[in-house]
Amino acid sequence: MTTQPLIKLHDGNTMPQLGLGVWKAGIDDARNAVLKALDVGYRSIDTAAMYKNEAAIGQALQETSVARDDIFITTKLWNDDQGNAQQALETSLKKLQLAHVDLYLMHWPCPERDHYVTAWQGMIALQQQGLVKSIGVCNFRQTHLKRLIDETGVVPVINQIELHPMLQQRELHAWDVLHQIQTEAWSPLAQGGKGVFDQPIIKQLAKKYGKTPAQIVIRWHLDNGVVVIPKSVTPSRIEENFNVFDFQLEKTEISQITQLDSGHRLGPDPDTFN
């Protein structure tokens, strides 16, 4: 199995391109999934205050033999806490049993609340204190990103967005690239692959490469330069999702998957979710 690539963020820090997501994972499932993932070779774990499983992640980090410095931990600032990022992060760190996290993300812009610039200023302060190494955002559109940059001068290192073959957000991804913001995909498999895994091109490529449809879709993300965090609590799938570094898709195959984009959003609309 080829070693997974590292992505260099614009602040000079690096992160693995493939990580484990734990959205909707219960306490025991999250702990077991993280331990399995670390055993398989994952070195990036993505959680959030809103997931209510940070304590389980912290427990797994205490139990694993993998050194803390070798694990990239992401957590997120929830919408209700945008007015007090310091307290929110300190609560997360206590649950995670960590002195710092590698990446802290603002979970949603919540434009009607209009607190996201203030929240971002709070996150900048947290980075300056050394409580977080890198700071970024989730679900931000170009207008939200531009305002953050214009009003604070600090560019997020990451924009984590819903991204899968049915919702490719190519214009936003291109804007991120132009501004040196790394795009990261949540729900990269379209929440279980419904409407994706049965697409003829996905099935054809799975047969060609001797891979599963999920592995083809993860490889498509990687070949597009996107950081990807597929969620699973099933040991066999956690291992399967990581076994994607021994092949690459051809440019024509990537283009064929591009044709699947239908703009179908599974999660909330960032302009209206508050």
Q: Which pair of tokens denotes residue 36?
A: 């399995």
Whole-number Å distance between alpha carbons of 180 and 76: 21
Percent of the chain's residues with pLDDT above 70: 99
**Catalytic residue chosen out of the listed positions 42, 51, 104, 116:** 51
Confidence of residue 1 (pLDDT cuts 50, 70, 90): very low
The mean per-residue pLDDT over the stretch 98-111 comes to 98
Average pLDDT, the chain: 96
The mean per-residue pLDDT over the stretch 96-106 comes to 98
The predicted structure's pLDDT at residue 3: 72
Asked which of 71-75, 191-195, 265-269 is least confident by mean pLDDT, the reply is 191-195
Asked which of 18-27, 89-98, 139-148, 223-232 is least confident by mean pLDDT, the reply is 18-27
The predicted structure's pLDDT at residue 4: 84
Q: Which of 52, 41, 48 is nearest to 18 (CA)?
A: 41
Whole-number Å distance between alpha carbons of 162 and 221: 12
Q: Is a pLDDT exceeding 80 seen at residue 107?
A: yes
Name the phi and psi angles at 80, rounded to 5.
-70, -15
6-258 in CATH: which number? 3.20.20.100
Percent of the chain's residues with pLDDT above 90: 95
pLDDT tens for 150-182 read 999 999 999 999 999 999 999 999 999 999 999
Q: Which of 250, 249, 248, 230 is nearest to 240 (CA)?
A: 230
Confidence of residue 2 (pLDDT cuts 50, 70, 90): low
Active site residue 42: no
The mean per-residue pLDDT over the stretch 72-101 comes to 98
